Amino acid sequence: MKQSFLFGKTRVEDPKDETSINAKLLMRAGFVDKLAAGIYSYLPLGLRVLYKIQNIVREEMNAIGGQELLLPALHPRASWEQTGRWNEDVMFKTQGHGGQDYGLGWTHEEIITPLVARFVSSHKDLPLALYQMQTKFRNEPRAKSGILRGREFNMKDLYSFHRDTHDLDAFYERALQAYSRVFERCGIPALVVEASGGSFSKYSHEFQMPTDSGEDIVYSCSACGRHQNKEIVEGNACPSCGGDRQELKAIEVGNIFKLGTRFSEPCGLRYADEQGKEQPVIMGCYGIGPSRVMGSVVEASHDTKGIIWPETVAPFKVHIVALGSSEAVISTAGALYTALHESAVDVLYDDRDMSAGAKFADSDLIGIPYRVVVSERTLKQGSVELKKRRSDETILVDVGELVRTLSK
Ligand code: ATP
Ligand code: MG
């Protein structure tokens, strides 16, 4: 894409009412815009990152047998009354013209369980894993962490359905591995942390990225590698090895739960076993916030000049920066842009009429992994400059070699 065409502009000043690093950098660089506390628009650059993260999540969910669907966000009150959760403070509520009550979805057990009950009746229909990527609404009391804590945010929620706990346990383990792969691919160093299990099992598992901007506290044992959320910690010693534990601040990027029959019982989700006997379906649920992941990447990967995107989630792989407006520069930059594009390399081309300093500042702020500088000076030797956002080193690459170097 040509930068002169791109919607959204960079800003030099930090937004006044944001304190978090992710919000400051993402807003200054033109990835998101704030409408109100916890409510953000995703501009074209930001949406590209969100889609990259979602696609990584999608690939990993499909790989463990997940099927994607899309559930409604607007829920009639009756759906929530069947499980007794209509009055949870987290739900935004609204009314229809006839006075009917609706809630905006903050999670979807109440919707998916009755849906599955309409299609599943036999042990032959199980196991089953369904997921969606959707906007969730939560009436969060504190929304001061930029896109880490939205009142409206994107979530991938997967629900699994099993005939017994043994089958759930096996799937849960595969989901845990899939989650680890998601965070690794996104460049997020996430710890697997035991947290409160809610209604069914002793623990759930959270994926926590240690960072000072985190709102959670994790007790981490470096001796044996067991990590626990502070909410379930009893005493300072590690329950596995007795070793001392370190207290870390962290961001929860994912959470997986064994639900058992908490939702299948009230929603009437049952199946007939081999003997024809009715049994409740055993469930698990697995959440990741792609928008929170995006904010976490920024918290983990930036410097004083701006964002440093890992290649896997970057809005573009290559940023071509053309300096000056000589015929040689414009025609070379244009030809490289076309050639990279044709080799399926995502490229942003800064074709704007601006000073070198301003272009470099924008390029560092936006944080695309590879920068190609096309200037008179190096074109005299038939080359362009190639620099990684992550390092200070610049190398000269023959114009004719660039596409091959970058499409590797
Ligand atoms: P928290 O404790 O941070 O409020 P939670 O435990 O309520 O989160 P879950 O219900 O476990 O969140 O949601 C699954 C995932 O959705 C979380 O791990 C996180 O990645 C994401 N998520 C939850 N709440 C938000 C939010 N307000 N904004 C952005 N992402 C969120
Ligand atoms: Mg959670």
Q: What's the pLDDT at 202?
A: 83
Q: What's the pLDDT at 408?
A: 78
Looking only at the bridges linking them, the beta strands covering 152-162 and 370-374 are: unpaired
Of 311, 377, 370, nearest in space to 340 by CA: 370
Query: Token digits for 327?
Result: 């015929």
285 secondary structure, DSSP code: E
Q: Ligand 2 mean position to 338 CA, how many Å?
A: 45
Q: Please tell me whether residue 290 adopts helix, strand or coil conformation.
A: helix
Query: Token digits for 150?
Result: 């939205």
CB-based contacts of 295, cutoff 8 Å, min separation 6: 20, 22, 23, 26, 145, 146, 147, 148
Q: What is the 3-state secondary structure (H, E, C) of 14-68?
A: CCCCCCCHHHHHHHHCCCEEEEECCEEEECHHHHHHHHHHHHHHHHHHHHCCCEE
- CA 233 – CA 64 distance, rounded (Å): 32
Q: What's the pLDDT at 197?
A: 85
Q: What's the pLDDT at 199?
A: 66
Residue type, 183: F
Q: What is the pLDDT of residues 352-374, one digit of tens each?
A: 999 999 999 999 999 999 999 99
Q: What's the pLDDT at 314?
A: 98
Q: What's the pLDDT at 406?
A: 96
Tell me the ligand closest to 148's alpha carbon.
Answer: 1
> What's the mean pLDDT in 390-405?
96
Length of the chain: 408
Q: Ligand 1 mean position to 185 CA, how many Å?
A: 20
Using a pLDDT cut of 90, give the percent of the chain over it: 97
Closest Cα to atom 8, ligand 1: which residue?
A: 252
pLDDT band at 400 (very low <50, low <70, confident <90, very high): very high
Is there a contact between 389 and 308 (Cβ–Cβ < 8 Å)? yes
Question: What DSSP assignment string belongs to 306-355?
Answer: EE---TTT-S-SEEEEE-S--HHHHHHHHHHHHHHHHTT--EEEE-----
pLDDT band at 200 (very low <50, low <70, confident <90, very high): confident
> What's the mean pLDDT in 186-215?
91
Tell me the ligand closest to 107's alpha carbon.
Answer: 1
Q: Ligand 1 mean position to 356 CA, how many Å?
A: 41
> What's the mean pLDDT in 185-192?
96
- CA 87 – CA 99 distance, rounded (Å): 17
Query: Token digits for 302?
Result: 């930036």
- CA 188 – CA 253 distance, rounded (Å): 9
Mean pLDDT, rounded, of the chain: 97
Q: In the chain, what are the helix, strand and coil shares in percent, each to the nearest 5?
A: 30, 30, 40
46-61 in b/e form (b: 16+ CB < 10 A) is bebbbbbbbebbbebb
Q: What's the pLDDT at 402?
A: 97
Mutate which of 142, 229, 255 for ligand 1 pocket (most atoms within 8 A of beta carbon):
255
Closest Cα to atom 29, ligand 1: which residue?
A: 149
Q: Please tell me whether residue 218 adopts helix, strand or coil conformation.
A: strand
Ligand 1, CB within 6 Å, residue ranges:
138, 140, 149-150, 153, 155, 252-255, 287-289, 291-292
What domains sit in the chain, N to C, each tagged with a CATH number?
7-300 (3.30.930.10), 318-407 (3.40.50.800)
- CA 257 – CA 288 distance, rounded (Å): 12
- CA 246 – CA 252 distance, rounded (Å): 17
Q: What is the pLDDT of residues 300-349, one digit of tens each?
A: 999 999 999 999 999 999 999 999 999 999 999 999 999 999 999 999 99
Flag whether pLDDT at 230 surpasses 90.
yes
Looking only at the bridges linking them, the beta strands covering 270-272 and 278-280 are: antiparallel
pTM of the predicted protein model: 0.97
- CA 172 – CA 168 distance, rounded (Å): 6
Q: What is the pLDDT of residues 109-120, one digit of tens each?
A: 999 999 999 999
Ligand 1, atom nearest to 254 Cα: 18
- CA 42 – CA 60 distance, rounded (Å): 24
Distance of CA 341 to CAs 50, 303, 403, Å? Answer: 21, 29, 10
Q: What is the pLDDT of residues 90-143, one digit of tens each?
A: 999 999 999 999 999 999 999 999 999 999 999 999 999 999 999 999 999 989
Q: Ligand 1 mean position to 146 CA, how many Å?
A: 13
Tell me the ligand closest to 252's alpha carbon.
Answer: 1
Query: Token digits for 187?
Result: 């460049």
Distance of CA 278 to CAs 161, 275, 334, Å? Answer: 15, 9, 67
State the angle between helix axes of 44-63 and 290-300 in degrees (0 to 180), rounded to the nearest 10: 110
Q: What is the pLDDT of residues 262-314, one digit of tens each?
A: 999 999 999 999 999 999 999 999 999 999 999 999 999 999 999 999 999 99
Q: What is the pLDDT of residues 22-68, one digit of tens each?
A: 999 999 999 999 999 999 999 999 999 999 999 999 999 999 999 99
